[in-house]
Amino acid sequence: MNMNRKSERRGLIKKLKSEGYLSNERVIEAMLKVPREEFITEYQKSYAYADRPLPIGEGQTISAPHMVAIMTEHLDVEEDHKVLEIGAGSGYQAAILAEIANKGKIYTVERIPELAKKAEENLNRIGYKNIEIIISDGSKGYKKEAPYDRIIVTAGAPRIPESLLKQLKDPGKLLIPVGGKMFQELKLVEKKKGEFSTKNLGGCVFVPLIGDEGW
Ligand code: SAH
């Protein structure tokens, strides 16, 4: 069974590469390493390596692998980075980031305690030591450990939260889906020498970012 999952995982990564979603070696290696089946319910396990989002409970979803690939490639994480993720969900994206920033640290914020607990169980089962899960409203970021080299928001926001811009290092990068509740545009914000610049990376569909600086 393990062997099957492993070859399914290899197959998915090969497909994502051929479709042009994956090219960075560190991202490829991370996606080859992290067992996506460990982050979804028993009932969904046979779909672990289909390229689609899956329900994880509480009305939330784990993103489709191609979206994780796109976001992780653009986030451009380095080995020693301190990364903030908003929307821990299942913990899968945090695991991918932890593989890349293996000498740094990942802080991941989740507003739904039941999901945070499950994410923690998933990450502990696999054995990640450089990830901290925080139960809180991440639309305001996580001031305690700021500033961050990278910030990734995996829920859709009505606008870019001011707090996240403030908690970004200089230089630093922030990835965030911005738009309506049903459909957003993925934005990459770069901070350099005190200036911010924003690039649109295309359309995406995320569950809403709910909170003080969200919906
Ligand atoms: N990155 C996750 C998927 C995220 S789904 C994974 O790899 O599985 C989006 C998550 O954002 C949901 O779990 C939702 O509860 C959470 N969320 C929404 N608004 C939030 C907020 N203000 N602060 C923290 N988490 C939030």
Distance CA(168)–CA(117), nearest Å, equals 27
Calculate the average pLDDT of the chain: 97
Amino acid letter, residue 41:
T
Domains and CATH numbers, the chain: 2-204 (3.40.50.150)
pLDDT in tens, 4-17: 899 999 999 999 99
CA dihedral 28, 107, 76, 207 (to 10 degrees): 80
Q: Is 63 a catalytic residue?
A: yes
Q: Quick check: 174 pLDDT over 80?
A: yes
Task: Please choose from 54, 60, 160 the residue to mutate so as to test ligand 1's pocket, defined by most ligand atoms within 8 A of CB.
Answer: 60
pLDDT band at 2 (very low <50, low <70, confident <90, very high): low
Contact of 180 with 32, CB cutoff 8 Å: no
Q: Is 140 in the pocket of ligand 1 (CB under 6 A)?
A: no
Atom of ligand 1 nearest to the CA of 112: 15
Ligand 1 centroid–CA 193 distance in Å is 30
Q: Quick check: 195 pLDDT over 70?
A: yes
Residue 51 has φ and ψ, to the nearest 5°, of -85, 70
pLDDT band at 120 (very low <50, low <70, confident <90, very high): very high
Pairing of strands 105-110, 82-86: parallel
Residues 6+ apart with CB under 8 A from 181: 156, 208, 215
The tokens for 78 are 């380095």
Ligand 1 centroid–CA 146 distance in Å is 19
Ligand 1 centroid–CA 129 distance in Å is 21
Q: Is 179 in the pocket of ligand 1 (CB under 6 A)?
A: no
Please state the rounded mean pLDDT for residues 160-166: 98
1 DSSP 8-state letter: -
